[in-house]
Amino acid sequence: MLGFFETKIEFLKGVGPQKAALLQKELDIHTYGDLLQHYPFRYEDRTKFYPINELHGNMPNVQIKGRIRKTEMVGAARKRRLVAHLHDETGELELVWFKGAQWILKKLQPGVEYIVFGKPQLFGGKINMAHPEIEILSQFNPKSSYLQPVYHTTETLRKRYLDSKGISKLQKTLLHLANSKIHETLTPKLIEDYRLINKAEALKHIHFPTNHEWLQKAQFRLKFEELFYIQLRLLKLKLTRVDKFRGKVLDNPDLLSRFYNDHLPFDLTNAQKRVIKEIYRDMKSGKQMNRLLQGDVGSGKTIVAFICMLAAIGSGAQATLMAPTEILAVQHYHGLKEFADKMGVTIALLTGSTKKSERKVIHQYLRSGDLKIIVGTHALLEDVVQFSNLGLAIVDEQHRFGVAQRSKLWQKDKNIYPHVLVMTATPIPRTLAMTMYGDLDISTIDELPAGRKPIKTVHRYDSNRLKVNGFIKEQIAEGRQIYIVYPLIEESEKLDLKHLEDGYESICRAFPNVPVSIVHGRMKAEDKDFEMQRFVKGETKIMVATTVIEVGVNVPNASVMIIENAERFGLAQLHQLRGRVGRGAEQSYCILISNYKLSKEGKTRLETMVRTNNGFEIADVDLKLRGPGDITGTQQSGILDLLIADLGKDGKILQMARQAASALLEKDGNLDNPENGNIKRQIESLRKTVVNWSRIS
């Protein structure tokens, strides 16, 4: 039987089949429930009137009250406009219309009191409002003095009268019908403990808030609920796994000790020691490990990964590391091979471009158990890849693999799943980690190896190029090497290549006696390798490249990173690129070169890079700028398709929700207690409608 909220939207008064089809297509609204959950994304404050002298250019739309002193037509041709001078007791401002002057003029009468609604903007040192809404006060409908909801809609819908106001009207109709049908979805205890308003009230006030206080209560309640159910799902997943899945007991420390005593090239940082302990404890526990390892660029994740692999191999098992791209896989392979060779541990690389004959040998040695470490890409997931005894699977995610793929890797040993360590290249903000990886335990390397000098970062404009070249010259004279990186994005690949080549030529012209390398994605692999090697050996002093070097080789002597068109890179990428320098003993520099024309966001990105070297801080800003969907790519959506909560802003509520979910499961893991009936019912209903819920059995 279909419930009230699953009623098709076309049956709502004022919708009908045609509009219903549009609502489905444009906003994915199919049912009554979908519409009710189409929450306003902001509200226009019509609860109060602002005095004119309090207006400034950074306000949203505001409401003011005043009389018109005079009106005039000013300017010529396309700039011709109607200006009305409106004043209240505190001051005066100009209302401006570029269009419809004749019609507006008829409406405006001197001396009469008006209500005006619009966005104050600073123009020529004065505040004005362009094309405001205007109404005579005495004809003003007092009902409109409230927080007016603003809904996302589309051009197509607007043409069919489903603009924000149109949607608001539908919400009103629906709420009227739904009133007695809205059931509580949280327990009385949660409602009391967290001082929440009930569901029906929350839905009413999210669409039609009486005032700020009620709006805030409604938002808190709905955000809490949304985050609570996500956390409940993740924690339940975690519990189920711990209960269900045994893990291999990998507790032989011999190999590990040998590495520690004979081959460890440096002292581990305390953070590295701590996370190794956390991981090793899991691997000995007899339960399957599911852990996230994160750390900033350069924090030394590779050696941690290797040491954990040794724990597995020392106990007779094998280990694998899967990376999202071939370049990354190759990089990991080289990083690990350095250590593996010292220990005489067998290691191989398996990617899409591994030759067939080589592949066969790899497959065979994996099955026989002679090959201990395999590094690779998705190629590892193929069914022909079988292990003798896979003990530890490390997945380098970079937010790119989905949960489904992760679990495919487990299946490599169906008797006892391998331990799983998810590793990320750059830090993830806490709120995001708690949500994307909320079913995992988390280990964080929050410390860089000692003796690293913080990289000095500056922002320069194109016009400063001569100075930058002067700096390059100085650095080369001191024996340093330089990276110059150009953006490469697929849509404009040709143009980018041209920029890169022009840049290369101008560098060669500016430094006629300095050997320069160039590397980009269109080159053949062997040519790329050849140029890279020349740079690594110090034969060339400047490396002009696209982002291929983001994950390229480690050149400790390279101490300057110059990023061209820096405004076109995302924060995570900028941080990753900067991480290419600062690996040696010398002071390193990062120079971000941009256009004068910068978007607000672009400016914030560059400022953030200049301000801090801390990857966790950068990740937080990134989350606030872009929102979680963009950061993680689409594969993770579902978990992150939040209707109302915002992981960039609602960290506190998330914390509460996780705490609440955890406490609930601790007391009543199967939700058998009748007190928790509301929650059990809600899970059932989510399971029907939300894909992600169906995975919990």
Whole-Å CA distances, 520 to 28, 529, 591, 667: 41, 11, 20, 57
- Site membership for ligand ADP, residue 269 (CB under 6 A): yes
Q: Output 215 or 555, the one with its CB closest to ligand ADP.
A: 555
x/- site string to ligand ADP, residues 331 to 360, per CB under 6 A?
A: ----x-------------------------
Please name the amino acid found at residue 383.
D
Count of chain residues binding ligand ADP (CB under 6 A): 17
| CB contact burial 121-132 (16+ within 10 A = b; e otherwise) | beeeeebbbeeb
Residues 289-308 binding ligand ADP (CB under 6 A) are: 295, 297-303
x/- site string to ligand ADP, residues 582 to 611, per CB under 6 A?
A: -x----------------------------
Query: CB nearest ligand ADP: which residue?
Result: 300
Q: Output 267 or 527, the one with its CB closest to ligand ADP.
A: 267
x/- site string to ligand ADP, residues 434 to 453, per CB under 6 A?
A: ---------------x----
Q: Which of 225, 211, 218 is nearest to 175 (CA)?
A: 218
* Least spacing, CB of residue 20 vs ligand ADP, in Å: 52
Q: Which stretch binds ligand ADP (CB under 6 A): 106-114, 266-274, 286-294, 689-697?
A: 266-274
Please name the amino acid found at residue 595.
N
Q: Output 324 or 335, the one with its CB closest to ligand ADP.
A: 335
Q: Output 166 or 449, the one with its CB closest to ligand ADP.
A: 449
* Least spacing, CB of residue 552 vs ligand ADP, in Å: 12
Coil vs helix vs strand at 265: coil
Q: Output 301 or 520, the one with its CB closest to ligand ADP.
A: 301
Q: Which phi and psi (to 5°) does residue 634 adopt?
A: -75, -20
CA distance 218 to 225: 11
Q: Output 182 or 321, the one with its CB closest to ligand ADP.
A: 321
Q: Which of 547, 550, 425 is nearest to 489 (CA)?
A: 547
Alpha-helical runs (H) found in 267-300: 270-284
Please name the amino acid found at residue 301.
K
Q: Residue 506 half-sphere exposure, CB side, CA atoms within 13 Å? A: 10
CA distance 670 to 651: 27
* Least spacing, CB of residue 303 vs ligand ADP, in Å: 5
- DSSP E strand stretches across 222-377: 290-295, 318-322, 347-350, 373-376
* Least spacing, CB of residue 246 vs ligand ADP, in Å: 31
Residues 101-160 binding ligand ADP (CB under 6 A) are: none
* Least spacing, CB of residue 564 vs ligand ADP, in Å: 23
Q: Output 335 or 552, the one with its CB closest to ligand ADP.
A: 335
* Least spacing, CB of residue 204 vs ligand ADP, in Å: 50
* Least spacing, CB of residue 392 vs ligand ADP, in Å: 17
Q: Output 582 or 648, the one with its CB closest to ligand ADP.
A: 582
CA distance 442 to 373: 24
Specify the DSSP element, H or E, that contains 584. none
Coil vs helix vs strand at 15: coil
Specify whether the CB–CB gap between 426 and 453 falls below 8 A. Answer: no
* Least spacing, CB of residue 296 vs ligand ADP, in Å: 7
* Least spacing, CB of residue 327 vs ligand ADP, in Å: 14
| DSSP 8-state secondary structure symbol assigned to residue 453 | P
Q: Output 299 or 682, the one with its CB closest to ligand ADP.
A: 299
Among all chains, which residue has been given the structure tokens 């690949």?
A: 493
Specify whether the CB–CB gap between 372 and 389 falls below 8 A. Answer: no
Residues that bind ligand ADP (CB under 6 A): 266-269, 272, 295, 297-303, 335, 449, 554, 583
